[in-house]
Each structure stands twice: as structure tokens, then as C-alpha cells.
């Protein structure tokens, strides 16, 4: 019996070691993707900040008459929900999906016709299985963001809003606070509230006000920059969400690797004890047989 127990423990130890190698490799891949995604996000921030400053200058001197600022009675609402295509990232997906479902249910309770714009396979599956209407979905981004994907999502939202399909568009995603912390948030995307483009501290406005010479006119510049501003917001939202995903997966795989190591140590100790018990039993049999002779 002892020999059979040792063989079974050896088999379990080999299995756990194999799993540990996989989780360790996934941790390294997630760490690499996190570094790249976080680098892209940080590199895009100066452009985003400068574009916002420029929009503040224009919006402060131009009468806002653009469809993206149009406030309508909310009869139809679209939620852009961003999560991952794959699992193995701890509670990341569940936190975002629970947060999003609460927001969607509250919207439905208000009597507003609500649909889901899913970015991530997990989002599409979650809401489809529960009977929610999925307006559109992207299930092949794989946690990678680029300008084309940002423009695709942004253009889809703008067309749906300007075309009158929805009166409001909101976004639910995991905001990247730090490698250890990702916070689900629910923010309005369309219509653009004037304070999103204009809001600025009065003291800073007095200190930093610059009288630009605009070519072409401010109105024409505003019409060109407004869609760019919105697409940039979408890009930064996707970048934060995907960075949060890679951070959550790296932490999850790191914990899984450590747990596998602890389990290997416990199984090895148990195996050694059973092996020692078997040796002791054999010695006792030999000594007992010798005494009998």
C-alpha cells in the first residue's frame, strides 16, 4: 500500500510541476504585454493632454453647435463594456461584468431601451446568455490596442449616436490605477458634456491663457478636432482597460505559480513521510523475522 501511495504522489507532483511551468510561462508573457501596453498608454498621454488643451482653447471661444454635443431625452442607451477575450486573469472579468450588469439593470429599470456594445469575448458571452441585446461586439482584439481598433470602436459609437440609434453612450471598463489595483468605472462618452472639453480651473485659465492665431478658422478647426478628441478618449479607454487586463493576469499567474510551489512542497513532504514509513515497516518485518529464527 505504501508503494502505491508513493507512486500516486509522484504522479501528482509531476502533474503540479507541469502546471507550474505553464503558469510561470503565462506570467512572463503577461508581464511582457503589460510592459508594452503600459508603455503605449503612457506614450499616448502627452498627445491626449495637448489635444484636450487645444479643445479647451477652441471650445472656450466657439459656440458649440455639433451633433456630438446634442443632449436629447434618453430613450435608448448604449453601454460600451470592455473586458478580455480570455480568462485566467483572476477576478478582472467578473468585477467588470458585475459592475456593468448593475448599471445596465438600473438603466432598464428606468424604462430606457438598453443595448450592449461588447469589446471582449467574455462580455459578449456574459450578456448574450442572460438575454440582453448585444448591439455589436469585437472578440478578437486579444488585449492589444492600436489606432485602427480605437478608430473602429469610436466610429461605431459616433455613427450610432449621430444617426439617432441611441441618445446616450456610456463606457464601463477597468481603470488602471496600479499593477495591483484595477477599478471598474462607468463614464459618459456621448453626448460630450461641455465641461469635458471646456472644464478648466479658473486660476489656470488666467495663468495659461494663450492668444493663438488660428488657420483655418476656429470653427473649422473645432469640427476637425472634435472627432479626433473623441477617438482619442476611446483609444485611452481601451489602453487603460487592456493594461488592467495584463496586470490582473500577471498577478493571477504569479499567485498560481506560488501556490503550485507550495503544493509541490507539501506533496513532497507527504511522499517522503510515506516512503519513510514504508522503509520502517520493512525493517520491522526483517527484525521480527530474525528474532523468530
Q: How far is CA 244 from the centre of its chain?
A: 5
Dig out the grid coordinates for 41 from the structure. 498608454
Would you name the residues annotated as active-site residues?
A: 89
SS3 175: strand
How crowded is residue 65: how many other Cβ atoms within 10 Å of its Cβ?
A: 10
CA distance 293 to 29: 66
As a dihedral over the C-alpha atoms of residue 197, residue 203, residue 207, residue 213, rounded to 10 degrees, the angle is 30
Residue 109 CA: distances (Å) to CA of 25, 102, 185: 45, 10, 20
What are the two backbone dihedrals, phi and then psi, of residue 217, each rounded to the nearest 5 degrees?
A: -70, 165
CA distance 104 to 121: 18
Is the distance from CB of 116 to CB of 131 less than 8 angstroms?
no
Task: Identify the residue whose cell numbers are 459609437.
Answer: 157
How crowded is residue 163: how many other Cβ atoms within 10 Å of its Cβ?
A: 9
Amino acid at each position: 500500500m505504501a508503494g502505491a501511495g508513493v507512486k500516486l504522489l509522484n504522479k501528482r507532483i509531476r502533474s503540479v510541476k507541469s502546471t507550474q511551468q505553464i503558469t510561470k510561462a503565462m506570467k512572463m508573457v503577461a508581464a511582457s504585454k503589460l510592459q508594452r501596453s503600459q508603455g503605449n498608454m503612457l506614450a499616448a498621454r502627452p498627445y491626449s493632454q495637448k489635444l484636450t488643451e487645444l479643445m479647451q482653447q477652441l471650445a472656450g471661444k466657439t459656440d458649440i453647435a455639433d451633433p456630438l454635443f446634442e443632449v436629447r431625452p434618453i430613450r435608448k442607451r448604449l453601454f460600451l463594456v470592455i473586458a478580455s477575450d480570455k480568462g485566467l486573469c483572476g477576478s478582472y472579468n467578473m468585477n467588470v461584468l458585475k459592475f456593468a450588469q448593475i448599471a445596465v439593470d438600473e438603466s432598464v429599470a428606468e424604462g430606457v431601451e438598453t443595448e450592449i456594445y461588447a469589446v471582449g469575448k467574455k462580455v459578449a458571452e456574459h450578456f448574450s446568455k442572460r438575454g440582453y441585446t448585444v448591439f455589436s461586439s469585437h472578440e478578437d482584439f486579444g488585449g492589444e490596442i492600436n489606432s485602427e481598433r480605437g478608430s473602429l470602436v469610436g466610429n461605431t459609437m459616433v455613427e450610432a449616436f449621430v444617426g439617432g440609434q441611441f441618445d446616450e453612450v456610456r463606457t464601463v471598463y477597468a481603470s488602471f490605477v496600479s499593477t495591483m489595483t484595477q477599478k471598474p468605472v462607468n463614464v459618459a462618452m456621448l453626448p460630450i458634456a461641455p465641461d469635458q472639453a471646456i472644464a478648466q480651473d479658473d486660476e489656470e485659465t488666467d495663468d495659461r491663457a494663450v492668444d493663438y492665431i488660428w488657420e483655418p478658422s476656429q470653427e473649422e478647426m473645432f469640427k476637425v478636432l472634435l472627432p479626433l478628441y473623441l477617438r482619442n478618449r476611446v483609444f485611452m479607454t481601451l489602453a487603460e482597460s487592456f493594461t488592467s487586463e495584463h496586470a490582473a493576469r500577471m498577478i493571477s499567474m504569479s499567485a498560481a505559480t506560488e501556490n503550485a510551489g507550495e503544493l509541490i512542497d507539501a506533496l513532497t513532504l507527504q511522499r517522503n513521510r510515506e516512503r519513510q514509513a514504508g522503509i520502517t515497516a520493512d525493517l520491522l518485518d526483517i527484525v521480527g523475522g530474525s528474532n523468530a529464527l
